[in-house]
Amino acid sequence: DIQLTQSPSFLSASVGDRVTITCRASQAIASYLAWYQQKPGKAPNLLIYAASTLQTGVPSRFSGSGSGTEFTLTISSLQPEDFAAYYCQQLYTYPYTFGQGTKLDIK
């Protein structure tokens, strides 16, 4: 199975900060990577697909980059509603594994 390792696992930041979350794959997955945001008690919400394409309706402060084995999710200027958990998922080969998650909270 392909392992996805997110770093950091926990991140404290302030409103207005620029933050970056990394997702590393144990083998190359081209651009078959998606990013999700999950708020407590809610289902995940798709932010980015194909590593760098913004899902319709997602604010432009979110961006994704990378290919192969290293990927990043960047939030350019944190807003109060962005404090949540973030997960990457590879869709290159079965099983379509998830990273362990990054919890972003308010400093």
Partner 1 sequence: QVQLVQSGAEVKKPGASVKVSCRASGYMFATNYIQWVRQAPGQGLEWMGIINPSGGRTNYAQKFQGRITVTSDTSRRTLYMELSSLTSEDTAVYYCARDREVRKVSGLDPWGQGTLVTVSS
Q: Which residues bind partner 1 (CB under 8 A)?
A: 1, 32, 34, 36, 38, 43-46, 48-50, 55, 87, 89, 91, 94-101
- What's the one-letter identity of residue 52? S
Residue with token string 């996805």: 4
- When the beta carbons of 17 and 44 are compared against partner 1, the nearer one is 44
Instruction: For residues 85 and 2, give the distance between their C-alpha atoms in angstroms, rounded to a whole number.
Output: 21
Query: Strands 102-106, 10-13: parallel, antiparallel or unpaired by DSSP?
Result: parallel
- Least distance in Å: CB of 47 to partner 1? 9
- What's the one-letter identity of residue 81? E
- When the beta carbons of 16 and 95 are compared against partner 1, the nearer one is 95
Which regions of 8-68 does DSSP assign to beta strands (E)? 10-13, 19-25, 33-38, 45-49, 53-54, 62-67
- When the beta carbons of 14 and 43 are compared against partner 1, the nearer one is 43
- Least distance in Å: CB of 70 to partner 1? 19
- Least distance in Å: CB of 55 to partner 1? 6
- Least distance in Å: CB of 100 to partner 1? 5
